[in-house]
Amino acid sequence: MRVAIVGSGYVGLVASACFAELGHEVICADNDAEKIAALTAGEVPIHEEFLPELLARHRGRHLSFTGSLAEAVRNSEVVFIAVGTPPTPQGDADLSYVEAVAREIGLQLNNYTVIVEKSTVPVFTCQRVRRVVAMNANAPVEFDVASNPEFLREGTAVTDFLYPDRIVIGTDTERSARILQRLYEPMTSGAYYGRPNAIASPSASVRIPPPLVITSSQSAELIKHASNAFLAMKISFINAVANICEAVGADVTQVCQGVGLDTRIGQRFLRPGIGWGGSCFPKDVMAFRAVAQECGYDFGLLHEVTRINDEQRNRFLRKIRNTLWTLKGKRLAVLGLAFKGGTDDIRESPAIALIRDLEQESCAIAAYDPAAMDRARVELEGLNVTFCTSPYEAAHDADALLILTDWDEFGALDLPRLRNALKYPIVLDGRNLYPTDLMAEQGFTYASVGRPTVAPVQKPLLSVTVTGKAQ
């Protein structure tokens, strides 16, 4: 099928590469000429596993890039809108980019086309897109508007697309439903997974083929917002439980295990830490609450979800203060700048926010992240932050080490080497990457989230027994 993707951000670029991987002819359009030139030249603007491989495999064959939305629309059967929907100061979604694209699509339509909303948008957006397209069409032309929400996690977006928990298609006509079913047929039939060069499954528990859920457009729009709000709530809930664990001397890791074994709850997202961030949860929770208010319902639970998340970062800052006593003049090593491991995205990153707070307290920061350093340099320009080439360089002569992002490599550090690099063997782990008893045995003062702080294990003194008579 001939598919156009409007927008080359995280969602648009991954969708473009993955639809090309499924065998479709894909054209990705963006009004950023510099970005289109870079993509055409083979550059990969974001850190995402398997994305460079797919772009190299399909660029110039099944996948092309253009700065002309007109070219993309006129040559496609299906047009996806994958532009940004940032929050407004009031908390609802800014749909001006969606409206602008819808208006331009209307001007360029010349054949029956299915226009698909891929961005995260509030309910009734499909209806509004339909109205804008119809008002701007130069001549009577048939088209349908549908919702096909994405459920991609940064860092695993490619495998999330190709091996999804579910595919949701929200449409109000049989014709558009059939077309979108055909678009995903390589996955829903299982044909893609039998290809010798298919991207490998991320786990043995993945359901193949994935279930296909066909709903109304309003239901699909709500499914996306409700899913993200629920996941954010689950993280905030376990963070609140972690705070109670700290107060009573319990271990939140054990609590998570006991709670998560309940199949109605599950283990996923029961990971306490310094809070969620990124481009999705913060804006989607706010936008969903704004949608509820517009409908006349006060979704106060979502306000509390956000409040707990904000407080979690503040609590960790207080934990740093309590552990180090004073912060002024301290040199702190920071591992992690991205909002989560596996990505270079620093938007709404708790790590970046904590660095700003610590720098305001006159701390010197030595930071390291495997992927997010370039973006962080721009964000933290002018602050007392040094960017290092390894965790051990960051730790050299530091008063304490802070783990703020859950990269796999941060959970597999050479602990003796780390202890020798630090001025004082103090680690504050905002992601609970290490067992507390291991850190104590390795000679660290170790503070984490929802678990008792531990001190270095004191080795017993050697006793010498002297036998025989005094000479």
Q: Which positions are annotated as active-site residues? A: 280
- Three-class SS of residue 384? coil
269 vs 456: CA distance, rounded Å: 30
| Other Cβ atoms within 10 Å of 140 Cβ, number | 7
Report CA-CA distances (Å) from 2 to 69, 70, 73, 173, 336.
14, 14, 10, 20, 40
b/e 49-88 (16+ beta carbons within 10 angstroms → b): ebbeebbeebbeebbbbbbebeebbebbbbbbbbbbbebe
Q: Which two tokens stand for residue 180?
A: 């979108």
Q: What is the CA radius of gyration of the chain?
A: 26
Q: Which residues contact 386 (CB under 8 A, 6 or more apart)?
A: 364, 365, 366, 367
164 vs 92: CA distance, rounded Å: 28
Q: Which two tokens stand for residue 121?
A: 């948008």
- DSSP letters, 368-382, are E-SS-HHHHHHHTTT
- Three-class SS of residue 93? strand
Is the Cβ–Cβ distance between 54 and 18 less than 8 Å?
yes
The size of the chain, in residues, is 471
- DSSP letters, 117-145, are E-S---TTHHHHHHHHHHHH-SS---EEE
